[in-house]
């Protein structure tokens, strides 16, 4: 064979062998790619199956969560229904029922007072007047912590009588005289039955007096008693009514027959006192009018007064001493004329107060606790007949109360009161001639049940034939209502 042919055949054989090798390599490569693809597909399918299972698990959990939410919603609905049921039962419990005609609603508060005085007052916990400060003895300073003003009460709701609401009240605190501080005795404040119709009411029992019905906003328990604010609580039969007059004005009228009490809280008189010895009850009455104002609180002005009689058994000279005889004694009138007012000056500011004048007012927390001067003048034997002079007095109090709109939990008060007996009716034994108090305080509501406050006051008491006394008092308090 020719060399060229041989060469061409060799090249052809080489080409065929290369092509066959290329085909085998391509086939092998194709085989590998198919396996990888199959493996990838299997892996993707497994991942997809896993994702499907995960989605199914999530759907199952979502359905469970929806079930829980539904159960919670049902629970809230059940709770809401239960609360509504309790509210209904509460309202039902507060209404008299034929089978149980009386409902009792307890109330009260715990009040803690911390007090500092730089002079001796008539009572450590409450300051009604200052005792004489003798020269050379210095200031008789006092410190006190007391809870005696803690109050307990119960309102008693009875069955209606027609359109009349039948109620009662019993209320006590712990300010009975001569109590030991850490075991004080109970003092009855109020105990009465009342029947109230839309226009009139009838009250029988121990309650606040008709005359001078307002009280200063003082932290001191005495509330300016014997220092310008008259009135107390007594057994009575009281009738009151309200009527619309002149369009939107409200006329308030009240009249009461009251048991006379012939002694004040600073007197040691017995229960069988001078007023109880009288044959007539004390007559009290008041008429007032309330006028709506643009600030949302009415302007109220009232006129009131009382008229009564007291009987003092005869005091005679028996050897070297004075002797009280039984039987009918000297009679003395007790009376007063009073004005009270509540004036809303601004939406945040009120001006309240009272003015009064009268005679023999010790039982009404006036005349600085001096009703009839039964002292005596000294004679040759150091005794003579008693003076037996009823003490005339005049006085009043006023205060501004401010509750800022921006600070609704704060209440600020500044006020003053004065009690001024007629010096001509006094003597060495009955000798308190003037008593004035000036005070300012601030209270803050920690909650709707808890109030804290502080008061700074200055009191000065003048005497005839004795040294005057003045006192600066700092009093803080915490009160929890229930």
Tell me the CATH number of domain 108-481, given options 2.60.40.2470, 2.40.160.10, 3.40.91.10, 2.60.260.20: 2.40.160.10
pLDDT of residue 4: 46
Per residue in 418-445, pLDDT (tens digit) is: 999 999 999 877 899 999 999 999 999 9
Per-residue buried b or exposed e for 250-276, using 16+ beta carbons within 10 Å of the residue's own CB: bebbbebebebbbbbbbbebeeebbbb
For residue 78, pLDDT over 80 is answered with: no
CA 314, CA 122: separation in Å to the nearest integer? Answer: 29
For residue 152, pLDDT over 80 is answered with: yes
CA 29, CA 238: separation in Å to the nearest integer? Answer: 118
For residue 287, pLDDT over 80 is answered with: yes
Q: Which position has the higher pLDDT, 175 or 37?
A: 175
Query: Which residues have CB under 8 Å from 378's CB, separation 6+?
Result: 384
pLDDT of residue 279: 81
Per residue in 299-337, pLDDT (tens digit) is: 999 999 999 998 876 655 555 555 555 566 778 899 999
The CA-atom distances, in angstroms, between 469 and each of 131, 326, 421, 439 are 6, 38, 17, 17
Per residue in 102-142, pLDDT (tens digit) is: 899 999 999 999 999 999 998 888 899 999 988 766 678 99
Per residue in 366-384, pLDDT (tens digit) is: 999 999 887 754 433 444 4
Q: Which position has the higher pLDDT, 244 or 180?
A: 244
Per residue in 14-28, pLDDT (tens digit) is: 444 444 444 444 444
pLDDT of residue 276: 64
Provide the percentage of residues in the chain whose pLDDT is more than 70. 76
In the chain, where the domains are located? 1-93, 108-481
pLDDT of residue 2: 52
CA 392, CA 423: separation in Å to the nearest integer? Answer: 9
- CB-based burial label for 154 (10 Å; 0-12, 13-18, 19+): middle
Of 79, 359, 415, residue with least CA distance to 229? 415
Query: Which tokens sit at 462?
Result: 């003048």
User: How much is the average pLDDT of 73-95?
Assistant: 62
CA 411, CA 403: separation in Å to the nearest integer? Answer: 5
Beta bridge partners of 437: 417, 459
110-119, 179-188, 205-214, 260-269 — which is least confidently predicted? 260-269
Per-residue buried b or exposed e for 379-418, using 16+ beta carbons within 10 Å of the residue's own CB: eeeebeebbbbbbbbbbbbbbbbbbeeeeeeebbbebbbb
């Amino acid at each position: 064979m020719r060399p060229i042919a041989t060469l061409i055949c060799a090249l052809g054989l080489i080409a065929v062998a290369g092509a066959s090798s290329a085909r085998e390599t391509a086939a092998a490569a194709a085989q590998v790619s198919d396996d990888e693809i199959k493996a990838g597909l299997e892996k993707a399918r497994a991942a997809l199956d896993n994702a499907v299972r995960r989605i199914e698990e999530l759907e199952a959990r979502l359905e469970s969560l929806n079930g829980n939410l539904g159960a919670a919603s049902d629970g809230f609905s059940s709770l809401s229904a239960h609360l509504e049921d309790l509210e209904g039962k509460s309202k039902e419990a507060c209404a008299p029922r034929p089978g149980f005609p009386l409902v009792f609603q307890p109330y009260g508060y715990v009040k803690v007072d911390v007090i500092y005085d730089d002079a001796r007052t008539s009572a450590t916990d409450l300051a009604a007047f200052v005792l004489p400060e003798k020269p050379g003895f210095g200031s008789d300073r006092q410190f006190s912590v007391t809870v005696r003003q803690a109050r307990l009460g119960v309102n008693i709701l009875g069955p209606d009588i027609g359109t009349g609401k039948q109620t009662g009240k019993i209320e006590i605190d712990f300010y009975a005289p001569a109590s030991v501080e850490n075991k004080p005795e109970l003092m009855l404040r109020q105990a009465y039955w009342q029947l109230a119709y839309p226009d009139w009411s009838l009250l029988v029992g121990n309650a606040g007096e008709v005359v001078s019905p307002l009280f200063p906003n003082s932290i001191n328990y005495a509330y300016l008693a014997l220092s310008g604010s008259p009135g107390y609580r007594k057994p009575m039969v009281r009738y009151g009514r309200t009527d619309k007059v002149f369009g939107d004005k409200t006329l308030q009228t009240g009249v009461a027959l009251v048991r006379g009490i012939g002694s004040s809280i600073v007197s040691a008189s017995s229960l069988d006192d001078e007023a109880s010895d009288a044959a007539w009850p004390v007559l009290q009455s008041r008429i007032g009018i309330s006028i709506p104002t643009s600030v949302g609180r009415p302007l109220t002005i009232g006129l009131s007064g009382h008229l009564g009689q007291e009987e003092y058994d005869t005091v005679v000279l028996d050897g070297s001493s004075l002797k009280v005889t039984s039987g009918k004694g000297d009679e003395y009138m007790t009376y007063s004329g009073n004005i009270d007012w509540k004036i809303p000056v601004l939406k945040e500011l009120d001006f309240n107060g009272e003015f009064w004048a009268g005679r023999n007012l010790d039982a009404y927390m006036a005349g600085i606790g001096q009703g009839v001067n039964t002292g005596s003048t000294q004679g040759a034997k150091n005794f003579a007949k008693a003076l037996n002079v009823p003490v005339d007095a005049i006085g009043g109090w006023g205060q501004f109360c401010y509750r800022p709109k921006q600070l609704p939990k704060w209440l600020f008060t500044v006020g003053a009161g004065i009690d001024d007996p007629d010096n001509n009716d006094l003597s060495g034994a009955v000798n308190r001639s003037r008593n004035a108090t000036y005070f300012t305080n601030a209270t803050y509501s920690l909650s709707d049940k808890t109030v804290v406050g502080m008061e700074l006051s200055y009191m000065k008491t003048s005497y005839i034939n004795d040294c005057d006394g003045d006192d600066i008092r700092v009093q803080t308090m915490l009160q929890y209502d229930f």
